[in-house]
Amino acid sequence: MVTTENTRVALITGASRGLGLVIAHVLAECGHALAIGGRDAAALKTIARRLSQRAPVLAVAGDITDPAVRAHLIDAARTLGGLDVLVNNASELGPIGPLAAFDVPTFGRLFPVNVGAPMALTQLALPLLRARRGLIVNITSDAATAAYPGWGPYGATKAALELLTRTLAAELDADGVAAVLVDPGDMRTRMHQEAFPGQDISDRPLPEVTIPFWKWLFAQEAQVIRGQRFVAQQEDARWLQPA
């Protein structure tokens, strides 16, 4: 593993598969050293070995709601030299179904994963991000802004994340740290398949469809895009969406 003081560093959660893996590949291609996290230790090890052919990689396996896992991820970024980009991608869908029958205690799992963990990791990352005038990317969903039957609990977590992200963008402006929201759109992922058990979702695009967007985003000046909300599957001029 070789890094220099000029090496850009990115931290991506939920990077062992799906969208997180796509983002990790794009950032490696863009020349970033990578700290990657995921719950599947075996898959993460395989991915880290693959990515290390392009860039320095440190992998931390574990649940992002675990404070020790978050601390290890920040330590990995520090070992690589700092932090320029934090991508809070790890998320949990939870059960799909009407609110009238929703198991309310399940909120006790969804909010810590989808809202609490990203905020806690961001807090830990801020000293490194301030030093590099870095970028925070929080992954959202159109379920945060639309009342899709059955998707209320998941959508509620993403709506909360959106408000917190916009607030972060305002609060961190003076520090030179930017925060943005990205809705990757409907994709053929394991999490999406879990929402439709037994159904054929092969008509959805693979997460690779978002690659042009990520290449564009990571080429932008962080302060220019601060506080914005993007939709990754739109055409260039339409990526930016009203916050």
Cα separation of 66 and 38, whole Å? 12
What is the bridge-based pairing of β-strands 229-231 and 240-241?
A: antiparallel
Active site residues: 154
Q: Report the pLDDT value the prediction gives residue 68, as an integer from 0 to 100.
A: 98
* CA nearest neighbour of 60 among 14, 26, 23, 17: 14
Q: Report the pLDDT value the prediction gives residue 67, as an integer from 0 to 100.
A: 98
Between the CA of residue 32 and those of 25, 83, 173, what are the distances in Å?
10, 10, 24
Structure-block tokens of residue 166:
């916009």
CB 210 within 8 A of CB 232: yes
Residues 6+ apart with CB under 8 A from 28: 34, 51, 54, 55, 57
- The CA-to-CA distance between both ends of the chain, in Å, stands at 39
The per-residue DSSP string of the chain comes to ----TT--EEEESS-SSHHHHHHHHHHHHTT-EEEEEES-HHHHHHHHHHHTTTS-EEEEES-TTSHHHHHHHHHHHHHHT--SEEEE--------S-GGG--GGGHHHHHIIIIIHHHHHHHHHHHHHHHHT-EEEEE--GGGTS--TT-HHHHHHHHHHHHHHHHHHHHTGGGT-EEEEEE--S---HHHHHHSTTS--TTSPPGGGGHHHHHHHTTS-HHHHTT-EEETTS-GGGSEE--
Q: Which residues of the chain have pLDDT under 50?
A: 243
Q: Report the pLDDT value the prediction gives residue 180, as an integer from 0 to 100.
A: 97
Q: Report the pLDDT value the prediction gives residue 203, as an integer from 0 to 100.
A: 64
Q: Report the pLDDT value the prediction gives residue 122, as an integer from 0 to 100.
A: 98
Backbone Cα Rg of the chain? 17
Spans of all domains in the chain: 9-241
Per-residue model confidence as pLDDT tens digits over 54-97: 999 999 999 999 999 999 999 999 999 999 999 999 999 877 88
The CATH architecture one would assign to domain 9-241 is 3-Layer(aba) Sandwich (3.40)
* CA nearest neighbour of 125 among 62, 95, 168: 168
Q: Report the pLDDT value the prediction gives residue 21, as an integer from 0 to 100.
A: 94
Using a 10 angstrom Cβ sphere, with 0-12 exposed, 13-18 middle and 19 or more buried, the burial of residue 89 is buried
CB 73 within 8 A of CB 89: no
Q: Report the pLDDT value the prediction gives residue 135, as an integer from 0 to 100.
A: 98
